[in-house]
């Protein structure tokens, strides 16, 4: 999907996208840095959009691993469904439903959750459900990795996860903070 089409989706959406263009490959690399791909059997992605992180994840994942990608925008779903990789499961539903879909695909937990969700644009009750369900769904050594454009999410994430480390990259528009959260 072109940047122009992405922007037209942003204008059509009611604030649920929360970005003006897809993330950079530099941000993608920082988001994936904490992942030990040799140990990741089940990776979950929230808000893949046009698939910037999805493609990078699939490049690095083991042949037998699975990626469950939750997206609510129908145009982005159409784009993601064009990715021809049997490891990718595209889910047209809200991130809140993570446990239902892990169960459906016979996973007891997720090893990593990679989230681009725009917390500032999502109602507090929904964010609460997403973070509670994510913490419950993570495996013992699992990590929840989230980017945001500010440090505002720090306190919130600290109230759901035992440890929150923060990384940063200038090489994205706008520059982004990467939160790496441990169960
Ligand atoms: C900031 S965009 C990120 C897109 C892409 N990952 C990137 O970094 O370029 C956020 C995405 O989250 C999706 N989204 C928003 N609320 C969601 C929800 N409750 N569940 C799943 N996806 C959601 C939006 O449709 C949008 O595609």
Query: In which domain, by residue range, is 102 found?
Result: 3-7+15-182
* 1 — pLDDT class (breaks 50, 70, 90): low
Residue 77, domain CATH: 3.40.50.150
What pLDDT, in 10s, does the model give residues 80-130?
A: 999 999 999 999 999 999 999 999 999 999 999 999 999 999 999 999 999
Q: Give the distance (Å) from ligand 1 centre to CA of residue 141.
A: 25
The domain total for the chain is 1
* 146 — pLDDT class (breaks 50, 70, 90): very high
- Kindly give the number of the ligand 1 atom that is closest to the alpha carbon of 13: 25
Mutate to test the pocket of ligand 1, among 14, 26, 49 (most ligand atoms within 8 A of CB): 49
Q: Give the distance (Å) from ligand 1 centre to CA of residue 48.
A: 6
CA dist 144 and 114 (Å) reads 6
**pTM tops 0.85, yes or no:** yes
Ligand 1: does its nearest atom lie under 6 Å from the Cβ of 23? Answer: yes
**CA distance between the termini of the chain:** 34
């Amino acid at each position: 999907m072109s940047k122009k089409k992405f922007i037209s989706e942003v204008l059509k959406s009611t604030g649920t996208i929360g970005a003006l263009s897809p993330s950079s490959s530099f941000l993608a690399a920082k988001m994936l840095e904490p992942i030990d791909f040799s140990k990741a059997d089940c990776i979950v992605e929230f808000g893949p959009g046009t698939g910037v992180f999805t493609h990078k994840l699939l490049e690095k994942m083991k042949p037998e691993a699975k990626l469950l990608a939750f997206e609510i925008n129908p145009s982005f779903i159409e784009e993601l469904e064009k990715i021809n990789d049997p490891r990718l499961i595209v889910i047209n539903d809200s991130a809140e439903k993570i446990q239902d879909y892990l169960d459906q695909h016979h996973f007891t937990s997720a090893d990593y959750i990679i989230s681009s969700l725009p917390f500032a644009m999502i109602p507090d009750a929904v964010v609460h459900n997403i973070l509670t369900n994510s913490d419950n769904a993570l495996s013992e050594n699992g990590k929840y990795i989230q980017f945001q454009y500010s440090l505002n999410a720090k306190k919130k994430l600290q109230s759901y996860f035992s440890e929150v480390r923060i990384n940063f990259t200038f090489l994205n528009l706008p520059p982004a903070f990467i939160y790496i959260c441990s169960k």
